[in-house]
Chains A and B, each alone.
Chain A
């Protein structure tokens, strides 16, 4: 949120734009906006009947009682708009400067609105039924163009409305919107975007003339022919793809460059963390995922509910975890009704965990961190000494309801070398911070769904090994051979006769169906060499590539290659949006940004280093 001063500036600026005589209300714009609104059935048709009424009504002199009534009336259609338009209140901050508050209500009545809208949804629906006639849902096809008569413009600019502080107005904006006067606000919102975009394109043209290699963003925008709102309005969250630049203008977010910047930041933080020449990672992990399905998980601030979002991303996490840690095991624990119970035991099969989790999607009661930690502590004390004990808690609740002293439990966990990490969904809590600090874990709170996903997946790669947490050891393992096709034998795991497939334990010659596993007869851990090899890239990471500025690329002599070493894409192509490229510090080959990400995130090989014998010999084991 911005400070007061900035808000004031934003308002003033926006008003200046408004007053600068831009053709905001020319007929073309009105038609196109009403078209957009109609297309998304935005026109609150219930208000159509109110048109005449509102026209005759004086805007600011309404009694608050009448206000309340009107709000009740529009409540059901506002729900519709909640659902379709205002999915994510997190992002609303972005459009703050983009529009002027245009509500015909006085600030006082807006405060009333705030009170009404902050009541729980159940209360307002109850009121609706009490009043009997809920407003019909808006429907397509109503001619809404007559809603936007230019003569309402003076109302829109009524001075009182502008004194309202931004966030409050934004959060309650849809309420105003449903109240008929809010249609101006909506109209205004889009008009403003349009103006700003026009301004952006003007300045861009000028700057491009001055310096042909302007900054990245400018080039990016040039490639798009459509207006910003036209292009992105196809999905119903167009405002989320807008961001402010340093001068307060709106511009579309350039996803690709943001993605690349994010990735580079992460890469650098990772590489700076791994400063030692020999990297030790805890590759054999025993991880309990504790999912909080208490009452708080039913909250709807993540759509459709926290629980559904958690389940979705925990599933993705489990898959990613086993992809990166093939010899590790996961167990699932659920907190519900004040107690913790074990959903699945430690195991190496992602499917069984996901199936168990998906079958238990219901939430109730309180959350208890102590119960969960006690339970997990007992289970994790049984694992072999070389394994890393880890706990990942996905916590929705804002409190913990414990039977005893949780501090004792935390000390117990610390003694048994459990590493507890917590991903919160609501707000930061001291006790969570304390747990993570004591046990050496990470505590983070998710801002929105994509952030939650990111935070969870951050726990998939193996953590740096802390020598005291697990005793390094040599584990005896067998590398079974695949049974030739057409041989019938009885497997020791399912006790079934099977033809072909399967593997033979090298110690006791019994047969198992899948790898990695433990031999049921002799207890030998059976793996295949590819399982081990899947983890090796953690041990031999490639260093991040250095960025090369485009000017350097242009200045290079003619002999040097102009294409990406990996994919042969031209690095000088003007149609190419990203104007930077990167170079490997070892082999001095140039790569495009897409290859850079692919090489570091997925391939874990530098094609340049691998295809030259000299540098290859350096990275030998």
Chain B
């Protein structure tokens, strides 16, 4: 069990929490691109296997980010250490892989049953905020376990586009991770960049990567995401090219450069409104007058 060897943990022992995107709409539409779910899983499983072999005490937890739910599908501390090395019946895959795949299949059927909509337009977003929250709860438990615990980090393998409705929740998890000094690494396997994960990796000091060639996903994973936090200090990992810190307005979800902020609730609007749609405050003064007045006052304060 994990509790016994945890006494021996040093700075290169890691706890890797992997968030797998299992959004069925994403995987069904991504057939035309280069990677399929089974292909993707074989890359990821080899990667997890190598993580477990890098250090005997390394721990891997896999959480599935589904479309309707999220769930733990693998925890290396719960399975005996022999199952990691031992091969299962047919002698081709390690036992832990078959365990993970079984759980994943179970999760996918359950996730599908929970679906209420018949079909959705587009890909739809998976519940990133939920799986991130679960990962952080798990990591807090590791922190509570004692002064010597493995160094935790989160790796998001994400393909679905961002769900704007999750914005507040995802930001909450990012700030919580930042306070607990847990880096969130992200590897985007979808078509577009993910603004959520860009911000998550930037704020928490993780690595954001969007591989060019998904055929070589294993190689990307092993070169960029396999190193423990201590060794990262000595490596040249991909730098964030440009993080999009622009906000999107609450009214149209447009990305804006300049906007109006409700002074009561800090909601963002792209143009002037009479009433705040979030908190219900009425804005008395005309916009131009208010803006110039506050500018004046601010200038007065500065001088």
Q: Which residues of A contact B (CB under 8 A)?
A: 278-284, 323, 327, 346, 382-387, 465, 467, 470-482, 484-485, 503, 506-507, 518, 523-524, 527-530, 532-537, 539-540, 564-569, 594-595, 598-599, 602-614, 616-617, 620-621
Contacts and interface: CB of A to CB of B under 8 A. Distances in A.
A611 B171 contact: no
Nearest to A286: B301
A474 B262 contact: yes
Given A484-B242, A605-B172, A479 B259 contact: yes
Interface stretch (B39-47, B69-77, B81-89, B152-160): B69-77
A394 B203 CA distance: 34
Contacts of B281: 280, 467, 472
B180 to A, nearest CB: 8
B32 to A, nearest CB: 26
Contact of A612 (B130, B239, B282): B130
A599 B134 CA distance: 10
Given A529-B199, A603-B133, A613-B68, 20 more contacts: A280-B281, A281-B264, A282-B264, A470-B263, A472-B262, A472-B281, A473-B285, A473-B294, A474-B262, A530-B175, A530-B203, A533-B175, A539-B265, A540-B168, A602-B179, A609-B130, A610-B70, A613-B69, A616-B166, A621-B168
Nearest to B168: A536
Given A346-B301, A518-B298, A566 B133 contact: yes
A602 B262 CA distance: 25
Given A533-B168, A620-B165, A603 B258 contact: no
B268 interface: yes
A523 to B, nearest CB: 5
B78 to A, nearest CB: 8
A283 B265 contact: yes
B76 to A, nearest CB: 12
B26 interface: no
A474 B263 contact: yes
A532 B133 contact: no
B283 interface: yes
Contacts of B280: 278, 280
A599 B132 CA distance: 12
Closest CB pairs A-B (n = 5): A611-B130, A566-B137, A611-B70, A472-B281, A386-B263
A213 to B, nearest CB: 24
Interface stretch (B51-59, B96-104, B225-233, B243-251): B243-251
Interface stretch (B6-14, B138-146, B185-193, B209-217): B138-146
B257 A478 contact: yes
Contacts of A327: 266
A506 B168 contact: no
A603 B172 contact: yes
B137 A477 contact: no
Contacts of B108: none
27 contacts: A280-B279, A283-B264, A382-B301, A383-B297, A472-B281, A473-B284, A473-B285, A473-B290, A474-B261, A479-B245, A481-B246, A482-B245, A484-B242, A523-B295, A533-B172, A533-B175, A536-B172, A539-B279, A564-B137, A567-B141, A594-B140, A598-B136, A605-B173, A606-B133, A610-B133, A612-B130, A621-B278
Contacts of A506: 257-258
Contacts of A530: 171, 174-175, 199, 203, 245
B127 A611 contact: yes
B261 A532 contact: yes
Contact of A598 (B140, B282, B295): B140
Given A506-B258, A529-B246, A473 B283 contact: yes
Contact of B134 (A527, A539, A611): A611
A523 B68 contact: no
B1 to A, nearest CB: 12
B121 to A, nearest CB: 15
A346 B300 CA distance: 13
A594 B294 contact: no
Given A523-B299, A616-B165, A477 B246 contact: no
B133 A607 contact: yes
Contacts of B174: 530
Contacts of B144: 594
Contacts of A284: 263, 266
B137 A567 contact: yes
A473 B245 contact: no
B298 A533 contact: no
Given A382-B300, A532-B261, A602-B176, A595 B242 contact: no
B69 A611 contact: yes
Contact of A477 (B134, B166, B260, B283): B260
A479 B133 contact: no
B256 interface: yes
Nearest to A477: B261
